[in-house]
Structure 1
């Protein structure tokens, strides 16, 4: 046997070792390979069946406790930072709601790559109060018979808007690919903070135009008149400087 025949013989033996032993013969049809396009739908159907079966199992009474999730609160106690004496009368409060539509676009990139748009419903309250911290002797005048009194107060002011997390929610949020990656590696996305700040700003602007300060001054006047009338004063005048 020459070298050519020996090399051919070794190749035939290697092919026989790699073969799985199946040989077509009489009554044995040749093996057909399953196409990849046939395997993929089968795998998807199997996954869908597993998901459907898992959903049905969770509907069985008792299995929810076995496979359900458990929430653990490991939050530490709140720490008191400071105390402040209140020197103003909280006379009125307004409830506001605003729909924030915030969109950020890149100049030379499409929205699918870089950009975001957030639709957020913000609900919060704004308080109107009258300060009594700097009242002097000239601001409170009482006649000799103690039947008439005049009180001069500063105009009412508005407090900072306070968003209510129970009534505020995001309706939709669209982000580009780069923004999604940024949110994935960030613990506190800047977009959420910007939306909250914008919602608080719009609520504060609406409070200024709502007549909340006038309502606070009216309620303060009624409170002081009722208090001084109960002390024996018949004529009580409250003015705002």
Structure 2
């Protein structure tokens, strides 16, 4: 009677195990990249989006005395690159090309007026007003018209996205876009336009009330 031979399990050397693990990791990584690049593949998994947000709560109400006199629409192309020392871009580094669109409002705060800033003659035919200078509001980025044109990330950055709460986040380029839009608004003459529009509005309003001469000036 022949004794069956025992087949001993083949042992995989340590370096080979590490190599196999690396190959599997890269396969998973690039499979995810293909799913994000090739159109239609994500739909095979039946991904659904549900809005489970609660109702918005009113926290406070503030009276506004600003006259919004002008609004500017701006667009900026942000090219943000981050490099790592002593490492090639393919391993560590990122570059994002982002188109940011936003608006900036210019206003005159009429709530700062006091009795000395408004003078009316005795027969109520002439009025002189001294207003504060127009100011710029906070730049508001328009998410519907802002978008990333291209993104390039190194291998380590892509691996980091797997453990990130916001993979591929665009906060840095968005903040940079807002800053550039604010700089452009300050150089655009938007406040001068706001003061001219405010003057035109007040002149028309006071003349409709019977004033024949209206003078509007702006303080420092």
TM-score class, shorter-chain normalisation, is: 0.7 to 0.9
Q: Which residue of 2 aligns with 1:107?
A: 85
Which string of whole-angstrom CA distances, capped at 9 and with x for unpartnered residues, describes residues 113-168 of structure 1?
Answer: 11100000000000000011221111000000001100000110001100000000
**What does residue range 189-200 of structure 1 map to in structure 2 within 5 Å?**
192-200=170-178
Which string of whole-angstrom CA distances, capped at 9 and with x for unpartnered residues, describes residues 9-35 of structure 1?
Answer: x37x769xxxxxxxxxxxxxxxxxxxx
1:79 correspondence with 2:57: yes
Q: Which residue of 1 aligns with 2:118?
A: 140
For residues 140 and 190 of structure 1, what CA distance do their matches in structure 2 show?
Answer: 55
Q: Which residue of 1 aligns with 2:139?
A: 161
Q: Which has the larger radius of gyration?
A: 1
Aligned residues: CA RMSD: 2.3
Which string of whole-angstrom CA distances, capped at 9 and with x for unpartnered residues, describes residues 65-89 of structure 1?
Answer: xx96654322211122222111110
Change in 2 beyond 3 A, CA 1:81/1:184: farther
**What does residue range 85-96 of structure 1 map to in structure 2 within 5 Å?**
85-96=63-74
Secondary structure, in 3 states, of the residue corresponding to 2:178? helix
Secondary structure, in 3 states, of the residue corresponding to 1:133? helix
Question: Which residues of structure 2 form unaligned runs of 5+?
Answer: 7-38
Question: Which residues of structure 1 form unaligned runs of 5+?
Answer: 1-5, 16-54, 56-63
Number of equivalent positions:
183
**What does residue range 215-234 of structure 1 map to in structure 2 within 5 Å?**
215-234=193-212
For residues 63 and 139 of structure 2, what CA distance do their matches in structure 1 show?
Answer: 20
Change in 2 beyond 3 A, CA 1:154/1:123: same
1:174 correspondence with 2:152: yes
For residues 68 and 109 of structure 1, what CA distance do their matches in structure 2 show?
Answer: 39
2:112–2:132 Cα contact (<8 Å) kept: no
Q: Which residue of 2 aligns with 1:18?
A: none
The structure with the largest helix share of the pair is 1
Q: TM-score, normalised by structure 1?
A: 0.71
For residues 86 and 100 of structure 2, what CA distance do their matches in structure 1 show?
Answer: 31
For residues 117 and 168 of structure 2, what CA distance do their matches in structure 1 show?
Answer: 48
For residues 88 and 146 of structure 2, what CA distance do their matches in structure 1 show?
Answer: 30
- Name which of 116, 129, 147 aligns with 1:151: 129
